[in-house]
């Protein structure tokens, strides 16, 4: 199929269609591993982000205005409107510049997820299973467009939406796919995915089925065929690393980020 | 009968466990080295499944939830009025399986059945597997496991016993196992195994709703207080349980169990262990070799990945790993929780008189998740 023939690169559930790929992805989804659509409470997301990631200097009503404007622009464009039918999670990141991606993720963003999760679900547990440490190990994956997020963070607070819509892709396929999407779509990595979970800590909680694992696909690990991810364990939340070997799995999701 | 290793939560290696590992390193350095290499194998994308060996299905019990009942001669004679004429494995087959497994770096065998301790050639089977090359575990219902037998098992190279206990209420256990007196025999077997220096694991079947019961909590406490691992197997709609769909758990049951793992020495086959996160362990963490040399991807899936008389173990494992149901990492139990796979399995095994369903008719290289 020619990519230019498609009205939208997203299906009616918001899944980014895996077409034109050389790397593995499941052509069709039986929609078995799903995220329950979260209730979006902008004020609560703003408050949690301020508490756990630091004051962004952005007022709550301005955060709401920019989020809604971003979603409206996606809805208004026939090419992108379908992505708004899927899971969409607003997030807020404070201005920051980090010399070491892994160190910042480990020392700042993952603990923020832990604290937000613990505050929201004191009866459950967040566990970082990666005991080897992240310092000096992570870089931005080539062709992920993720560096644009980092540049935006250097300029000031960042408002965005996280879409875990690259479902059932291998990591190489996710990176391949983002290159053929409109320019506003960036591959999600460690900071934006963590910010989405800080604002919406129950994103991966599900009682009637299993949610997918969320890869940080824009982040290149020290070994080329390994990656880092957030994953539910029952009602609990975990961070971990595993080899992926460039394979596709029904359980695996990567995310796109759009900045507003 | 179900099988699992005694693995606890990651980063919680107890001094007792460390001592056991050191002991194994001294007694069986080759086996200890292979076990220690498993995490490196996984990092390279290789697998090291436990091999469950079903040499014989003879059993002195007739349990309500038995996954092997449909493989048993007594079932085929009674229900289908047939004799299984397929060629059965012998000790030479087991030696060849042991050799191929060792070549692939596999390190663990579980002798299961049936009830292994009724097998007249049990000792010969242990010898054929080779306790100096593989870590050997035996399943048992405990009926014959007195102190003398436990000491004998230890002396011939068995390292671990996995003992079935299905309720802390004596009458319930005996009723579930259809064997009066079996609870008392399990309690005796626990003491005997510990005294003989065998590693011990209790295994129990989780039916829907049991995770919330005070009885189950008591079992978790019982095992934890004695520093014994409690391996929990979900009831699956296969074998004798085919007639008990009400036993099949819901996600809530699995999630309650995950919470109990925080406080008790209890785990399932999907519990992260020693830093390994396999999720559903089909092929990746376990295979079953049946009495006819067929290989199935778990004790409860009655589809073969191939017969070891025709296909080398390496290729059988590769078939499993490239199968979309079995190979990819997933957090749930495919045969215990995935309704689509359960339906597929039920349809393809219905009316089949000789299990497992051969390669190509159950699983095949053209399998997809959809359609």
- State the SS3 of chain B: CCCCCCCCCCCCCCHHHHHHHHHHHHHCHHHHHHHHCHHHHHHCCCCCCEEEECCCCCCCCCCCCCCCHHHCHHHHHHHHCCCCCCCCCCHHHHHHHHHHHHHCCCCEEEECCCCHHHCCCHHHHHHHHCCCCCEEEEEECCCCCCHHHHHHHHHHCCCEEEEECCCCCHHHHHHHCCCCCHHHHHHHHHHHHHHHCCEEEEEEEECCCHHHCHHHHHHHHHHHHCCCEEEEEECCCCHHHHHCHHHCCCHHHHHHHHHHCCCCCEECCCCCECCECCECCECCCEEEECCCCEEECCCCCCECCCECCCCCHHHHHHHHHHCCCCCCCECCCHHHHCHHHHHHHHHHHCCCCCCCECCCCCCCCCCCCCC
Q: What is the pLDDT of residue B245?
A: 80
Rounded average pLDDT over B161-168: 96
Q: What is the pLDDT of residue B296?
A: 98
Assess whether pLDDT exceeds 80 at residue B239. Answer: no
Q: What is the pLDDT of residue B244?
A: 79
Q: What is the pLDDT of residue A3?
A: 52
Q: Is A36 a domain residue?
A: no
Judged by a CB distance cut-off of 8 A, whether residue A22 touches chain B is no
Q: What is the mean pLDDT of chain B?
A: 92
Domain housing A171: 41-259
Assess whether pLDDT exceeds 70 at residue B346. Answer: yes
Residues of A in contact with B45 (CB under 8 A): 225, 243, 245
Task: Give the rounded percent of residues in chain A with a pLDDT score beyond 90.
Answer: 97
For residue A7, what pLDDT band results from cuts at 50, 70 and 90? confident
Q: What is the pLDDT of residue B69?
A: 84
Q: Is A26 a domain residue?
A: no
Residues of B in contact with A210 (CB under 8 A): 251, 330-332
Which residue from A minimizes the CA distance to B43?
Answer: A243
How many structural domains is chain A composed of? 1
Q: What is the pLDDT of residue B180?
A: 96
Whole-angstrom Cα distance, residue A156 to residue A55? Answer: 12
Pairwise CB contact (< 8 Å): A32 & B258: no
For residue B3, what pLDDT band results from cuts at 50, 70 and 90? very low
Assess whether pLDDT exceeds 70 at residue A256. Answer: yes
Q: Is A185 a domain residue?
A: yes
Which residue from B minimizes the CA distance to A239?
Answer: B277
Q: What is the pLDDT of residue B246?
A: 85
Pairwise CB contact (< 8 Å): A234 & B10: no
Q: What is the mean pLDDT of chain A?
A: 96
Pairwise CB contact (< 8 Å): B262 & A28: no
Assess whether pLDDT exceeds 90 at residue B371. Answer: no
Give the distance from residue B339's alpha carbon to the nearest chain A alpha carbon, in angstroms.
10
Phi, psi of A255 (to 5 degrees): -120, 155
Assess whether pLDDT exceeds 60 at residue B2. Answer: no
Give the distance from residue B329's alpha carbon to the nearest chain A alpha carbon, in angstroms.
7
Q: What is the pLDDT of residue B12?
A: 57
Q: Is A171 a domain residue?
A: yes
Rounded average pLDDT over A116-134: 96
Pairwise CB contact (< 8 Å): B324 & A250: yes
- Give me the residues of A, 203-222, that contact B with CB < 8 A: 206-210, 213
The pLDDT tens digits of the residues spanning A31-46 come to 999 999 999 999 999 9
Least confident of B63-67, B106-110, B344-348: B63-67
Q: Which long-range contacts (CB under 8 A, 24 or more apart) does B69-75 make?
A: B69/B239, B69/B240, B70/B238, B70/B239, B70/B240, B70/B242, B70/B302, B70/B355, B71/B290, B71/B291, B71/B355, B72/B114
Q: What is the pLDDT of residue B7?
A: 38
The pLDDT tens digits of the residues spanning B108-119 come to 999 998 999 999
Task: Give the rounded percent of residues in chain B with a pLDDT score beyond 90.
Answer: 78
Judged by a CB distance cut-off of 8 A, whether residue B367 touches chain A is no
Rounded average pLDDT over B10-25: 80
Chain centroid offset of residue A53 CA: 16
Pairwise CB contact (< 8 Å): A30 & B370: yes
Q: Is A35 a domain residue?
A: no
Q: Are A231 and A159 in contact (CB under 8 A)?
A: no
Assess whether pLDDT exceeds 70 at residue B55. Answer: yes
Q: Is A106 a domain residue?
A: yes
Judged by a CB distance cut-off of 8 A, whether residue A121 touches chain B is no
For residue A6, what pLDDT band results from cuts at 50, 70 and 90? low
The pLDDT tens digits of the residues spanning B147-159 come to 999 999 999 999 9
Whole-angstrom Cα distance, residue B366 to residue B268? Answer: 30
Assess whether pLDDT exceeds 60 at residue B269. Answer: yes
Place of tokens 């059988």: B316
Assess whether pLDDT exceeds 60 at residue B285. Answer: yes
Residues of A in contact with B279 (CB under 8 A): 251
Q: What is the pLDDT of residue B8?
A: 36
Give the distance from residue B368's alpha carbon to the nearest chain A alpha carbon, in angstroms.
10
Pairwise CB contact (< 8 Å): A129 & B10: yes
Residues of B in contact with A234 (CB under 8 A): 254-255, 258-259
For residue B9, what pLDDT band results from cuts at 50, 70 and 90? very low
Assess whether pLDDT exceeds 80 at residue A4. Answer: no
Rounded average pLDDT over B173-186: 95
Q: Is A103 a domain residue?
A: yes
Judged by a CB distance cut-off of 8 A, whether residue A26 touches chain B is yes
ipTM: 0.92
Least confident of A13-22, B9-18, B291-300: B9-18
The pLDDT tens digits of the residues spanning A132-189 come to 999 999 999 999 999 999 999 999 999 999 999 999 999 999 999 999 999 999 999 9
Give the distance from residue B10's alpha carbon to the nearest chain A alpha carbon, in angstroms.
8
Does A128 sit behind a cis peptide bond, omega within 30 degrees of 0 on the bond before it?
no
Whole-angstrom Cα distance, residue B337 to residue A234? Answer: 14
Rounded average pLDDT over B58-87: 87
Rounded average pLDDT over B311-318: 98
Q: Is A170 a domain residue?
A: yes
Q: What is the CATH architecture of B15-349?
A: Alpha-Beta Barrel (3.20)
Judged by a CB distance cut-off of 8 A, whether residue B11 touches chain A is yes
Assess whether pLDDT exceeds 60 at residue B73. Answer: yes
Assess whether pLDDT exceeds 90 at residue A51. Answer: yes
């Amino acid at each position: 199929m020619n990519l230019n023939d498609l009205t939208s690169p997203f299906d009616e559930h918001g899944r980014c269609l895996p077409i034109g790929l050389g790397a593995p992805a499941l052509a069709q989804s039986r929609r078995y591993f799903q995220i329950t659509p979260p209730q979006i409470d902008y004020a609560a997301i703003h408050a949690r982000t301020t508490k756990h990631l630091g004051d962004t200097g952005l007022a709550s009503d301005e955060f709401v205005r920019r989020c809604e404007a971003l979603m409206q622009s996606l809805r208004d464009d026939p090419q992108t409107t379908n992505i708004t039918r899927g899971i969409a999670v607003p997030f807020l990141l404070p201005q920051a510049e980090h010399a070491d991606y892994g160190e910042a993720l480990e020392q700042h963003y993952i603990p923020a997820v832990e604290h937000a999760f613990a505050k929201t679900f004191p009866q459950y547990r967040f566990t970082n299973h990666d005991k080897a440490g992240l310092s000096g190990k992570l870089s931005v994956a080539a062709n992920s467009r993720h560096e644009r997020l980092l540049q935006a963070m250097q300029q000031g607070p960042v408002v965005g939406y996280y879409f875990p819509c690259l479902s059932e892709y291998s990591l190489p396929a996710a990176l391949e796919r983002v290159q053929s999407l409109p320019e506003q779509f960036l591959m999600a990595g460690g900071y934006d995915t963590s910010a989405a979970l800080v604002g919406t800590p129950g994103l991966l909680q599900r009682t009637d089925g299993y949610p997918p694992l969320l890869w940080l696909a824009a982040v290149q690990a020290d070994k080329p065929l390994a990656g880092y991810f957030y994953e539910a364990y029952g009602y609990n939340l975990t961070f971990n690393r595993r080899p992926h070997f460039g394979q596709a799995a029904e359980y695996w999701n990567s995310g796109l980020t759009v900045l507003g | 009968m179900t099988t699992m290793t005694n693995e606890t939560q990651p980063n919680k290696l107890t001094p007792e466990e460390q001592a056991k590992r050191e002991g194994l390193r001294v007694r069986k350095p080759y086996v200890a080295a292979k076990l220690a290499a498993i995490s490196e194998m996984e990092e390279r994308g290789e697998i090291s499944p436990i091999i469950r060996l079903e040499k014989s299905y003879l059993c002195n019990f007739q349990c309500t939830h038995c996954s092997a009942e449909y493989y048993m001669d007594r079932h085929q004679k009674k229900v289908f009025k047939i004799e299984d004429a397929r060629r059965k494995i012998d000790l030479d087959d087991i030696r060849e399986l042991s050799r191929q497994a060792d070549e692939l770096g596999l390190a663990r065998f579980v002798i299961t059945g049936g009830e292994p301790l009724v097998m007249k050639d049990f000792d010969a089977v242990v010898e054929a597997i080779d306790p100096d090359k593989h870590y050997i575990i035996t399943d048992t219902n405990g009926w014959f496991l007195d102190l003398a037998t436990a000491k004998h098992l230890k002396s011939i190279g068995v390292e671990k016993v996995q003992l079935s206990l299905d309720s802390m209420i004596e009458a319930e256990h005996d009723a579930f196992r259809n064997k009066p007196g079996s609870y008392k025999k399990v309690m005796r077997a626990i003491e005997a195994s510990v005294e003989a220096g065998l590693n011990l694991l209790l295994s129990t079947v989780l039916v829907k709703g049991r995770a919330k019961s005070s009885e189950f909590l008591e079992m978790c406490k019982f095992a934890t207080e004695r520093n014994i691992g409690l391996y929990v197997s979900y009831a699956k709609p296969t074998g004798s349980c085919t007639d008990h769909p009400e036993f099949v758990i819901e996600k809530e049951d699995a999630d309650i169990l995950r919470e109990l793992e925080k406080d008790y020495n209890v785990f399932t086959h999907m519990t992260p262990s020693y830093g390994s996160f396999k999720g559903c362990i089909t092929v990746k963490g376990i295979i079953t070799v049946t009495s006819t040399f067929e290989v199935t991807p778990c004790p409860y899936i009655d589809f073969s990945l191939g017969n070891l008389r025709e296909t080398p173990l390496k290729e059988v494992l590769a078939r499993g790993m490239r199968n979309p149901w079995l190979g990819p990492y997933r957090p749930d139990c495919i045969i215990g929780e995935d309704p689509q796979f359960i339906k597929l399995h039920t349809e393809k095994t219905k009316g089949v008189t000789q299990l497992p369903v051969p390669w190509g008719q159950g699983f095949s290289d053209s399998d997809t998740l959809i359609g």
